[in-house]
Amino acid sequence: MKRMLKNFKLAVHDQLDFWSTTCISILVSGLGIATALLYGSLISLVSIGKTFQDMTVTIVVTIVVTIVYAILFWLKGYKESNMVDKNIFKLRNRYINKLLATKYSLLSNEDSSRYINNLTQDVRRVVFCYADCTSYFIEGLFTVVIAFGAALYLDWRIALSMVGFTLIMAIMPLFIKKPLDKSIGRVSNANKDYIRSLKENLLGVSIIKNNNAEKVCSDSISSFNRCNLEQGKKFNFVNSIAGGISTFIRSIATLALILFTCYLVTIDEVLVGSVLSIYSIGMTFYGAILNCSWVVTQMVSMTSLRDAVEEVVDREIDDRNNEISFNDVISLENVSFKYQNDEDRIIINSLNIKIKNKGKYLIIGKSGSGKSTILKLICKFYDDYTGIIKIDNVNYDNYSESQINTSVAYCQQAGYLFNRSLKENIDFKFDNDSDKMTKVLKLVMLEDFVDKLPNKIETIIDEEVNQVSGGEKLRINLARSLYRDSDILLLDEVTSALDKKTSEIIEKNILCLDKTIVNVCHKFNEDTLPMYDRIFIIEDGSIVEEGDSASLYGSKKFLSYRSVR
């Protein structure tokens, strides 16, 4: 019972809407059975010689009930569709809100195709199963009771005979559950693989074009599409068998009921109109039982998809709100780290670094030496490290990822441009501070670039269609981080795609800011070196040399990282 209630809460957002829709469905079923009795009554009245005038009241009642039935039947269809759409909308919002609040370390270790598939396909299936189907099930139970009562009204023997085939229909889910369960899971996995194939090939279309690999990629996508089709066909086959068996059983059961009613007519136990009534009542009765049986089968078979959606929706989010104070130092003490998917390779090895408030720090090293990982650890993107990270002598474990990032702005090397205006790509939270925007654009030397755009700062840019150059993209990402105006600024290769002169000017502009700055790069600019309070050289996850520019200038290792652009 607890599991059923949890499923219901997962799929149904507005319970009032659900129950009103279900009540209308029950009323429609009741009116459908009432019209069947009224139609049969009209035929029976004719058969015993009643005149048209004698049947006036019955005719008027039948017309009114038929009109009300038709109106409510339309309303039922509208309400059901609307209820499902609203619940899909709400569940998708709940899913994406929890997904975006999930720790970066978890998101970065999973394939985003899974989440896209959950949002586009699985959420719809889950809502249909546990919202729409639950309504069908409740409606079906009431329909069975109403139909049985109507049959009992006609003759108790007819009602008793209706029960005969019920047991067979009730045990159908036991036979169809396992193949349907496997089929639903395979369809979901095939669709996920197809989405992943589309995503990676469309995002990498420039590389595909350059390598004349259109045919290879087309064949690859087509193979996933075919697999998706084949799994869909298998699911449809299993589902159609279940539907075919259900229809066959319902037809045979209804035929037996009609024949028995005809027999009662021949021995003058019931009126002839009962045959017409019992046809409709029998179809409704057995249809409701089969519907309940089918709903149970769907609910049991949907377990794996439900769990996949529920796992995200039920994730515990770290919503601590401890106030962060950074007046002294951030320290990494004997910190080591390795990625979960590559446990054999140590990325950071027994690292010790102190970052003082308002200090300027340069970390240099080759690609893969662990430079970027240090910045991600400071951002609390990963918390499965060994050692201790503190801010003003308070352990990082006392703060959530979100709290740390209120004080830290991290400009990543591989930043992303969203399909928005240039202004909205920089002013990410829509603060609309024009003075700050002007200042930031000047700091990163984007003023000339903005002036050349067709709609200036309101011009739409993005990662795929409205592209910008590598250097412009890098400066836009840098402007986004500067616009946040955070106390701590972490820079990951932010000038690597720029010419030497532009790189030096932007670096000097940033280092003049009254902020704590940690800059990571694989080559340094000589003119900016004196502006750093301390420089660290990192290799294979460990610091091999450190000091200020004057003390390091005699080191051959240090000079090997000099920029010669």
3-state secondary structure labels for all residues of 277-340: HHHHHHHHHHHHHHHHHHHHHHHHHCHHHHHHHHHHHCCCCCCCCCCCCCCCEEEEEEEEECCH
**Paired residues of 538 in beta bridges:** 543
pLDDT at 251: 78
pLDDT at 176: 62
pLDDT at 367: 83
User: How far apart, in Å, are the Cα atoms of 475 and each of 392, 461, 512?
Assistant: 31, 14, 17
pLDDT at 279: 83
pLDDT at 142: 92
Domains defined for the chain, CATH in brackets: 2-313 (1.20.1560.10), 329-559 (3.40.50.300)
DSSP 457: G
Q: Helix (H, G, I), strand (E, B), or coil: what is residue 508?
A: helix
Summarised one tens digit per residue, pLDDT across range 114-141 is 888 888 888 888 888 888 888 888 998 8
pLDDT at 204: 65
pLDDT at 362: 92
DSSP 562: B
Can you tell me which residue has the tokens 């920089």? 426
Q: How would you class 351 by CB atoms within 10 Å of its CB: exposed for 0-12, middle for 13-18, buried for 19 or more?
A: buried
pTM above 0.85, yes or no: no
Joined tokens for residue 338: 């390795």
Joined tokens for residue 310: 């529920």
Angle at which helix 133-154 crosses helix 15-47, to 10 degrees, equals: 30
Regions of the chain short of the pLDDT cut 70: 164-178, 180-181, 202-212, 242-243, 246, 341-343, 465-466, 563-565
Contact status, residue 79 vs residue 21, Cβ threshold 8 Å: yes
Joined tokens for residue 539: 């290799």
pLDDT at 99: 83
The amino acid at 523: K
User: How far apart, in Å, are the Cα atoms of 410 and each of 356, 481, 559?
Assistant: 17, 6, 27
